[in-house]
Amino acid sequence: MGTATHFLRLVNILKELESTSSRKEKALKLSMFLKELPKDEISPSVMLISGSIFPDGSGQILNISVKTVSKVLSTCKQGTLDSSPLTIKGLYSQLVDLASLNGRGSKARREVALSSLLSRASDVETEYVSKILQGELRIGLADGLILEAISKASSIDLNTIKSTYGLTGNLGETARMALIEGIEKLKNICLKPFSPVRPMLAGTAQNLEEAIRIHGRTSLEHKLDGVRVQIHKEGYRVEIYSRSLSKITQNLPDIVNLVQSEVMADETILDGEVVGVDSEYRPIPFQDLMRRIGRMANVHESISKIPVRLFLFDILYLDGRSVASSTYEVRRQQLECICSKGMLTPRIVTDNIAQAEMFFEDSIRRGHEGVVSKNLSGIYTPGQRGKEWLKIKKADALDVVIVAADWGSGRRFRWLSNYHLAVRDSHRETYLKVGKTFKGLTDEEFEYMTVRLLTLKVSENDFTVKVRPEIVVEVAYDEVQKSPHYDSGYALRFARIKKIREDKSPREVDTLDRLEEIYEAKFKRKARSTWNQH
């Protein structure tokens, strides 16, 4: 087995990575560290480095607030002489045990256990344990960088590593299999019912012309404003998972009944969207739908208050075999064979701009967000975003993450109501500010956001509360401008929050590259307009 690696070794690597600006160098240093680890320390090390103790969809959370960490830090004595050093496996195991403390008196028991853990840590180890507990490590070491390091350490190509992560949803397990069992093991990982996979994501096209230029003859489908769902069926058993791989079956018993009675396949994995509707079957706001999806009690009462419709648009698995590597055209045909037309997303197949524009306007009239263009020859790549699917929206909107909030003034003085918005720098794996806004939310939502943000508080200075970057919001804006006031170099003019995206994680927010594309496209449009005037 060998000697257990001290946690201080991992801390030193993290400090090295923090002082390294080059993404390539970061991936190389992390890969060298992974190669040196004993086999049984690879998975826990990667999970600690990622800042997420548990993989998506596990249903487990640490449930340790910033306030609890601060309280324990103020009382515990660190690094006593007779204490044994913290090891990577030991720390990870203790954090898992902490998460299992539930029920009456669990808060006090968690504080005692955390105090015992930190009493064995040096000052610098305590600093990094705190960062892990408070989610601050997620800022600098996103999944993409860790996957690159796993690829380098295992000498397995990055696409295979990404594919494995898409199928497992577990960074630690992906690293363990790659470094210990090798590429043959990864190639044999396959889809199976009730093991949810990370959903394939759409890139963005500026307009329909761009989408058709990239895809040629394409499948255009309504872009729905609902909750992404992955539905697994085997016989009469049906389970429904969210885009974060959490099981939400209990919130959608009406959809379960629909799938049991209407999907003509014994075994299948389906990809789709659940949309809330009013009495006339028009889409309702996303926030109203989330009140039902997030509800744990009185689910049957909410069925009548917030009815939903299921729209399916893809199939990954059918009667014993994966179909993810089939072309989209074939997958759609298979979907049409097992589902009625009313269960499928409306679509047209065309390369005609005029037809595409008519379909786009029809989608908007029906209350949807726009359209998605899908490459007919594209395969399904779990967990990856690319150009095989391209979304085209009516209004300019971006997904951003809240990194801080200001206490309001006047009527809003009781609430954290002016939100600091940020996009993701995918090269440096950090978040960069693009503006602030207090517009778009109701008083009820301000109150809700204040409670949420205070649980994520990292520090407070005057009127500003810095928070862990976890809450994703979709914002509309008038234009992207150059700005020296924000570290991104850009600002969103007249930003206003359209919706709180409880279904999205911070790693899914729009990137600085995307912002730059929008800014450059604006000048190209202006140049064409000026040229046409002469």
Confidence of residue 137 (pLDDT cuts 50, 70, 90): low
Q: Which of 41-50, 361-370, 399-408 shows the lowest per-residue confidence on average (mean pLDDT)?
A: 361-370
Give the mean pLDDT of 444-459. 91
Average pLDDT of span 401-419: 90
Residues of the chain with pLDDT > 70: what percent? 94
For the chain, the average pLDDT equals: 89
Domains of the chain, each with CATH number or no CATH: 7-187 (1.10.3260.10), 201-389 (3.30.470.30), 397-520 (2.40.50.140)
- Looking at 136-150, 194-208, 462-476, which range is the least confident one? 136-150
* pLDDT beyond 70 at 317: yes
pLDDT number for residue 269: 98
Q: Is the confidence at residue 172, as pLDDT, over 60?
A: yes
Give 64's contacts (C-beta < 8 A, 6+ positions apart).
98, 110, 114, 133
Q: Is residue 188 predicted with pLDDT exceeding 80?
A: yes
pLDDT-derived band at 83 (thresholds 50, 70, 90) equals low
**pLDDT tens for each residue of 225-284:** 899 999 999 999 999 999 989 999 999 999 999 999 999 999 999 999 999 988 888 888
Does the pLDDT of residue 138 top 80, yes or no? Answer: no
pLDDT of residue 358: 96
Has residue 1 got a pLDDT over 70? no
Say if residues 419 and 405 touch (Cβ distance below 8 Å).
Answer: yes
| Residues with a known catalytic role | 223
pLDDT recorded at residue 532: 47
* Whether the predicted pLDDT of 526 surpasses 60: no
For the ranges 48-57, 371-380, 485-494, the lowest mean pLDDT is seen at: 48-57
Q: How far is CA 424 from CA 39, 269, 434, in A?
A: 33, 31, 10
pLDDT at 100: 86
Does 362 score more than 90 pLDDT? yes
Q: For the residues 460-479, what does the mean pLDDT come to? A: 91
Residue 73 has pLDDT above 90, yes or no: no
Which of 1-15, 204-218, 404-418, 453-467 is predicted most confidently? 204-218
**For the CA atoms of 282, 285, 286, 287, what is the dihedral angle to 10 degrees?**
-140
Q: Is the pLDDT of residue 529 over 80?
A: no
Residue 139's pLDDT band, with cuts at 50, 70 and 90, is very low
Task: Give the count of beta carbons closer than 10 Å to the beta carbon of residue 75.
Answer: 10
Please tell me the predicted confidence (pLDDT) of residue 509.
Answer: 92
Alpha helix ranges (H) inside 20-64: 23-36, 42-50
- Nearest CA among 132, 168, 163 for reference residue 53: 132
Burial label, 320 (beta-carbon count in 10 A; 0-12, 13-18, 19+):
exposed
Confidence of residue 141 (pLDDT cuts 50, 70, 90): low
How is residue 206 written in tokens?
A: 């500026």
Pairing of strands 201-204, 385-393: parallel
Q: How far apart are CA 341 and CA 334, in angstroms?
A: 12
